[in-house]
Structure 1
Amino acid sequence: MASKTARRQAGRRSKWAAAALIGIGLLVTGGVYAGASAAMAASDTSTTATSSLTVEDGKKLFQANCATCHGLNLEGTNDGPSLYGVGELSVEFQMATGRMPLQMQGPQAPIKPVQFTQEQIEAIAAWVQETSPGPSYPSDEILDGGGDVAEGAELFRINCAMCHNVAAAGGALTEGKYAPALTETSPLHIYAAMVTGPQNMPVFNDMTLTTEEKRNIISSLMWIQENESAGGFSLGSLGPVSEGLFIWIFGIGSLIGLTVWITAKSN
C-alpha cells in the first residue's frame, strides 16, 4: 500500500505544466504564422512592384471602356471623334483630369474625379500612341519651372489671359463654355493643353510658341501657384468686377455710414 502511494506521487505532474505547454504551443504557432504572413506579404509586394501594364493591356482597357464612342480602332463613331493622331499626350490629359470618359454630351467636358489609375491611363495612352502616333510627353526640363518667369507672364497675358484671366483664375466663355482656372493645374497638363488644344482652346504649335516660350509660360504659372497674391486680398482674382463690387459695397457703404453718423452728431 505504501509503495503504491509513493509511485503515484512520483508520477504526478505540476498543475502549471499543462498551461505552460499550451502557452509554448501558442507562441510557436503564432511565430510560424507571423513569419509565413510576412513572407507572403513581401512576395506580393515584390510582384506588385515588378508588374506593369503593357500596351496590349491598354488596348483591352480602351476597347472595354472607350470604344463605344471612339471605335475599336480609334476610327470614331457618331458619338465620339476619331483619335487618329491625337497622341498619348492628349489621351493622358483627357483621362488624368477626369474629362474622359464623358458622362454626357454638353458644351464642354467638365473636370471630374478620375476613373482609372495612372498606370491604366498610361497603358491606354501608349496603345493609342503605338496605333496612331501624335504629340508625346515633353522632356523634364520643360516642366521644371526654371524658365524666365517675367517673359512667361508677358506671354501668358498676350496669348492666354483673355480667356483664363490675367491671374489664371479662369473665366466664362459663350454658350455655356468656360476657361478653367490654372491655379492647381500640373505643369504636364498645362503643356498638354497648349500642344493639343482641348475643348475650345487653340493649338499653340512651335510656330506660334516655341518650346522655350512654353517653358516660360509654365514657369510663370508655377510661380503664381506657389506665391500668394502680392496685392493683398485677391477677391477671387476676377479683376475689376469683384474689385468694383467691393468698392461699392464696402467703400461707398462706409462713406454713407460715416456721413449719416456725422449728420446725427451735428443734430
Structure 2
Amino acid sequence: MKTLAARRRSPIALLVLLLLGLTMTGTAYAVFQPKAAPGTSATTVSAEDIEEGRQLFLANCASCHGTNAEGNAPAGPSLVGVGAAAVDFQVGTGRMPLAAPGVQAPANRDQVNFTSEEITQMAAYVDSLGPGPAVPDAQWLDLEGADIANGGKLFRTNCAMCHNSAGTGGALTRGKYAPTLMGVEPVHIYEAMLTGPQSMPVFNDDNLTPQEKEDVIAFIVDMDQGGTAYGGHQMGSIGPAGDTLFIWTIGIGLLIAAAVWLGRKAA
C-alpha cells in the first residue's frame, strides 16, 4: 500500500492521467461527433482536389480570411467549421471574392470567377478544416413530389417578413436588405437556409426538415415561373405593398371626391 501511495504522488502519475484523459476525450469525440445532417452529403473529393482548393484559396481568399482560414478581423471572419455549403453558396452566387467592402455582399451571378470544379475544390478545402454543413443532396433539389402549398405556408411563416410574400426581397436595417429569390438556383436557396448567410437566420434540419426545405424551394420556383400570384394581383410582384398602395391611392381619392361632392350638395 505504501508503494502504491508513493507512486500516486509521483510527478509521472500526473502525466499518465493527462495522457489517459486526452486519449479518452479523443475516443469519445470520434464516437459521438456530429454526423452530417439528413439530406446533405459531403462531396466526394480526393486529396489532390483539397490541395487544389487550398491553392485557389491562398490566391483568392487568404488576403481577407487568413492563410489558414483563421480569419483576419475586420477584413474577413474565420471559415473553420462553416462547411462546404457556405463556400458553394458564397462563391457560386458571385458574392465572394468580395468586390468592395460594404454592409452586405451583393449577389453577382453573372460574374462568378470560378468553374464549378474549382468551387468544389475550394469548398472541399474549407470543409477539411472543420466539420460544417455539406452541399445538399440532389434528391432534395429535384422538386419531385414537393408540396407547393406546404412550401407556401412555411415561406409565409419563416421568410416573407424579410423577402416579402412575393419573394422579391425587401429592406432591412442599417443599409442591409433581403435579396430577391427570383432566378436563384435551388441549390443556393437550400444552402442559404442551411448556413444563414449575412443577416439571414439558420434553418437547420431541426427547424425545417430537408423535405420542408424542398417544399419551400418548390413554392419559390413556382412563383418565379409565373404561377399563382401569391403576393397579390401582380402589381409589380412586390407583394401586398403594391395592393396597399393602389387601394390607398384610389380609395383615398374616392373618399376625398365624395367628401367634396357631399359638401357642395349641403351648401
TM over 0.5: yes
Q: TM-score, normalised by structure 1?
A: 0.70
| Higher fraction of helix | 1
Aligned-pair distance for 1:85? 0.6
Which of residues 107, 111, 119 is equivalent to 2:107? 111
1:197 aligns with 2:193: no
Deviations 1:225-248 (A, max 9, x none): 223454885122223432243346
Change in Cα spacing, 1:221 to 1:241, as seen in structure 2 (3 Å) is: closer
Q: Within 1, Cα distance between the matches of 2:154 and 2:227? A: 21
Which of residues 52, 57, 66 is equivalent to 1:57? 52
**Which structure 1 segments of 5+ residues have no match?**
1-52, 258-267
Q: Within 2, Cα distance between the matches of 1:191 and 1:61? A: 25
Q: Are the equivalent residues in 2 in contact too, given 1:169–1:236 (CA < 8 A)?
A: no
User: SS state of the match for residue 235, structure 1?
Assistant: coil
Q: TM-score, normalised by structure 2?
A: 0.70
Letter in 1 for 2:139: E
Aligned-pair distance for 1:253? 7.0
Deviations 1:4-52 (A, max 9, x none): xxxxxxxxxxxxxxxxxxxxxxxxxxxxxxxxxxxxxxxxxxxxxxxxx
**Which structure 2 segments of 5+ residues have no match?**
1-47, 258-267
1:75 aligns with 2:70: yes
After superposition, where does 1:24-173 map in structure 2 within 5 Å? 54-78=49-73, 79-112=75-108, 113-146=111-144, 147-173=146-172
Change in Cα spacing, 1:214 to 1:129, as seen in structure 2 (3 Å) is: same
Report which of the two structures shows the higher radius of gyration computed on alpha carbons.
1
Q: Are the equivalent residues in 1 in contact too, given 2:140–2:211 (CA < 8 A)?
A: yes
Q: Are the equivalent residues in 1 in contact too, given 2:223–2:229 (CA < 8 A)?
A: no
Aligned residue pairs, count: 208
User: SS state of the match for residue 108, structure 1?
Assistant: coil
Q: Within 1, Cα distance between the matches of 2:164 and 2:129? A: 37
Q: Within 1, Cα distance between the matches of 2:85 and 2:229? A: 34
Deviations 1:171-200 (A, max 9, x none): 111111110111111110010000000010
Letter in 2 for 1:96: G
> Which range moves more in the overlay, 98-107 or 224-233?
224-233
Note the aligned Cα RMSD (angstroms).
2.5
Deviations 1:101-149 (A, max 9, x none): 1122221111122122222211111111123231112221211112111
Q: Within 2, Cα distance between the matches of 1:230 and 1:69? A: 42
Question: Which residue is 2:241 aligned to?
Answer: 241
Q: Structure 1: which 4+ aligned runs deviate by more than 3 Å?
A: 228-233, 244-257
Matched residues, percent identical? 53
Change in Cα spacing, 1:69 to 1:230, as seen in structure 2 (3 Å) is: closer
Aligned-pair distance for 1:222? 1.7
